[in-house]
Amino acid sequence: MYLAFSVLVFSLLGSGHGSVIPTEACIRTLYVSDTALIDVAEHENCILQIDTDQNHILRFSLAHGEHFERAQEFVSIYDGIDEDSPIIRLENQIRHKVGLTHAELIDSVYTTNSVAHLRLKKKPTLSLKLKIEKAVYCPFNLGSESQCGRVVDANSCYCATFTKRDQANQTTYCIDNGMKLLSIQDLNEEEKLYAAWDTLVYFWTSASYNTTSGAWRWESTMENIYPGYTNWAPFEPNNTLNDGDCMAMKNGWYDDPCVNLYDAICELQPEDVPSSTTPSYYTNSDPAFTSFSTFSSQD
């Protein structure tokens, strides 16, 4: 505990730019494994450093789904660990052209890296609980003829490419961009993708048919499609005798030759990128200070 604290102080002071840490301040580090809830009022006069693993970013929202403006009145969130790092404000957040119908997206802010720090500006009179979750970074696009958005939920990212390639090359395209060719989990996900992009053109997914085993599989996750969610169009699949059949979606699923040239959708889920298995924890300079927070790993 002492060691962790020393390292933190060193890194804060060592980050330079003349930022002064008030000597009376308590310094606490919160490592977010998945989700954490914190009560803002309990951090008065403290600097709270929030970390997640380096492959993820952090998303802040209010625990009860209130508008994030309420939080900005009481707490400043810095994108980084020293005072000179920019303050993250709702109005400066990336607004994706797709996925905006999601009310919760507007009610949260995202960091650009895996560290943030929090300072209380004013003690809230009513309880103010911040929800902190790890998320993946989501750019506007992956270059020309593509578009990204937090289309399905607030912590993942999807990118559509409107350059037609065969299925193997779309797989490579997604991997080259640090993502995976789409695997569809359920109807909700599929419907949100159609709502964001299109139901009139084919998009390659990662599914393909193995003629030896006779099994359809999501190649990106190596999971067999059966038993599980399916959404074949009427009379599909109808061509599985051909070796190397792949699956494209267009308001339903179609098996088509993998060499066909189609658009594609890449995805990145928080669990797709390597992360530490360390559970959420606090370190702080005050050993008496252990009971102020509540965690939940799933909600």
Ligand X SMILES: *[C@@H]1O[C@H](CO)[C@@H](O)[C@H](O)[C@H]1NC(C)=O
Return the ∠ at Cα 167 (arms to 163 and 168), rounded to 5°: 110
Question: Please, is 100 exposed, middle or buried when counting C-beta atoms within 10 Å of its C-beta (0-12, 13-18, 19+)?
Answer: middle
* Residue 212 interacts with ligand X (CB under 6 A): yes or no: yes
| Interaction between residue 239 and ligand X (CB under 6 A) | yes
Question: Least distance (Å) from ligand X to the CB of residue 225?
Answer: 13
235 binds ligand X (CB under 6 A): yes
Is residue 191 a contact point for ligand X (CB under 6 A)? Answer: no
Pick from 213, 290, 291, 298 the residue near ligand X by CB under 6 A: 213
> Helix, strand, or coil here: 276?
coil
Candidate segments 45-53, 89-97, 107-115, 236-244, binder of ligand X by CB under 6 A: 236-244
d(CA 100, CA 140): 13
State which residue, 112 or 240, has the beta carbon closest to ligand X.
240
Looking at the chain, the number of H-run helices and the number of E-run strands are 5, 18
Q: Taking the complex as a whole, how short is the minimal distance between the CB of residue 142 and ligand X, in angstroms?
A: 16
Q: Does 238 bind ligand X (CB under 6 A)?
A: yes
Instruction: Annotate 112-128 with DSSP letters as a single string.
Output: SSSEEEEEESS--SS--
Nearer residue to ligand X within complex by CB, 162 or 289: 162
β 203-210/245-249 pair status: antiparallel
As a whole number of angstroms, the distance between CA 80 and CA 133 comes to: 16
- Which of 51, 263 has the CB closer to ligand X? 263
In order of 41, 44, 72, the CA distances from 121 in angstroms are 10, 8, 9
- Asked whether position 39 contacts ligand X by CB under 6 A, the answer is no
- To ligand X, the closest distance from the beta carbon of 190 in angstroms equals 18
Report if residue 175 touches ligand X, rule: CB under 6 A: no
Instruction: Give the residue with the Cβ less far from ligand X, 123 or 165.
Output: 165
**Region of 36-44, 141-149, 198-206, 232-240 interacting with ligand X (CB under 6 A):** 232-240
Which one of residues 42, 166, 198, 272 is an interface residue with ligand X (CB under 6 A)?
A: 166
Question: Residue 88: CA atoms inside 13 Å, Cβ hemisphere, count?
Answer: 27
226 sits near ligand X (criterion: CB under 6 A):
no
23 binds ligand X (CB under 6 A): no
Q: Which DSSP state fits 132? A: E
- Listed residue (50, 74, 51, 52) closest to 62, CA to CA: 74
Of residues 255 through 284, those in contact with ligand X by CB under 6 A are: 261
177 is an interface residue for ligand X by CB under 6 A: no
Residue 223's identity, in one-letter code, is: E
Query: Which residues here bind ligand X, judged by CB under 6 A?
Result: 165-166, 169, 210, 212-213, 233, 235-236, 238-239, 261
